[in-house]
């Protein structure tokens, strides 16, 4: 027989269990419905029905505010409809909320896609340079590779080579093992800038990180660089970064 105290404790435990069960089931249901709305939005997006697709993505976001893919494609729909300020905001939000889930944190390809799309949108549609200023401020106040990589892309697409080079160097400084940044920077230095010595430096670093990338190897061949044979079992290690003073402002 339970004592009155043990019965009370059991009732509390049972109530907590039931509450936890239904809360978990509720979360699963929310994710299921948000994914369904997202898939509906993607179907409409592929048909170029951007206004209808945007409605589905907004529904997915109402059901699950952390649905970062819906934020991103809602931004794409806004951009297609010429609503650029809303597009900028959704791209920024996609970057932010993707860091709130394990899937978003691990999906570096998605973050790169958002960064590329946001940079292209800012370069093309930010006539008053409000978003460019926002990006530069963000990089200054929170210096990291991704923020400077985004800034570098914007400057490159706008044709400001000096500012792009500075931002690329800062991005490399903040992540000494990032292949994507070094590849893009090295290829940019080679073509169209024809800064062959610096291009060789960053492309060699990229090659050390990933010795099998065809674009990097082809660029090094253009520079008459002999690529050393890699040990298949070896772990690639990037070269030390150039000694470059990187101020925080």
Domain boundary among 125, 153, 178: 125
Q: How many domains does the chain have?
A: 2
The pLDDT value recorded for residue 100 is 82
pLDDT(42) > 70:
yes
Range of the domain at 208: 145-249
Do 248 and 149 lie in one domain? The reply is: yes
Do 53 and 110 lie in one domain? The reply is: yes
The pLDDT value recorded for residue 193 is 98
Do 154 and 236 lie in one domain? The reply is: yes
Instruction: Give the CATH number for residue 46.
Output: 1.25.40.10
The pLDDT value recorded for residue 96 is 94
With a pLDDT cut of 70, the percent of the chain lying above it is 79
Note the residue count of the chain.
Answer: 249
> How far, CA to CA in Å, does 136 sit from each of 112, 131, 132, 146, 151?
18, 9, 6, 12, 6
Do 117 and 211 lie in one domain? The reply is: no
pLDDT(17) > 50:
no
Do 161 and 196 lie in one domain? The reply is: yes
Q: What is the pLDDT of residues 125-149, one digit of tens each?
A: 999 999 999 999 999 999 999 999 9
Do 201 and 111 lie in one domain? The reply is: no
pLDDT(248) > 70:
no
Do 154 and 248 lie in one domain? The reply is: yes
Do 93 and 158 lie in one domain? The reply is: no
Domain boundary among 61, 91, 125: 125
Do 118 and 149 lie in one domain? The reply is: no
Asked if the structure places residue 16 within a domain, the reply is no
Q: What is the pLDDT of residues 188-239, one digit of tens each?
A: 999 999 999 999 999 999 999 999 999 999 999 999 998 876 654 445 455 4
């Amino acid at each position: 027989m339970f004592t009155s105290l043990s019965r009370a404790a059991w009732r509390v435990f049972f109530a907590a269990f039931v509450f936890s069960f239904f809360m978990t089931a509720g979360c699963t249901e929310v994710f299921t419905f948000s994914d369904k709305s997202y898939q509906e939005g993607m179907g409409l997006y592929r048909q170029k029905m951007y206004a209808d697709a945007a409605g589905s993505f907004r529904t997915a976001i109402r059901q699950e505010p952390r649905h970062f893919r819906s934020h991103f494609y809602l931004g794409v729909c806004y951009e297609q409809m010429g609503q650029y300020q809303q597009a900028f905001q959704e791209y920024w939000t996609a970057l932010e909320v993707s860091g709130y889930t394990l899937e978003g944190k691990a999906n570096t390809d998605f973050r790169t896609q958002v960064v590329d799309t946001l940079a292209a949108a800012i370069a093309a549609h930010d006539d008053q340079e409000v978003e460019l200023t926002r990006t530069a401020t963000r990089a200054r106040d929170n210096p990291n590779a991704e923020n400077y990589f985004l800034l570098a892309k914007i400057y490159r697409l706008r044709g400001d080579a000096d500012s792009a080079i500075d931002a690329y160097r800062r991005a490399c400084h903040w992540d000494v093992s990032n292949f994507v940044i070094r590849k893009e920077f090295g290829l940019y230095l080679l073509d169209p800038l024809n800064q062959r010595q610096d291009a060789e430096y960053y492309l060699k670093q990229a090659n050390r990180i990933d010795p099998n990338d065809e674009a990097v190897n082809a660029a090094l061949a253009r520079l008459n660089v002999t690529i050393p044979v890699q040990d298949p079992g070896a772990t690639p290690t990037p070269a030390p970064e150039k000694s470059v003073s990187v101020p925080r402002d």
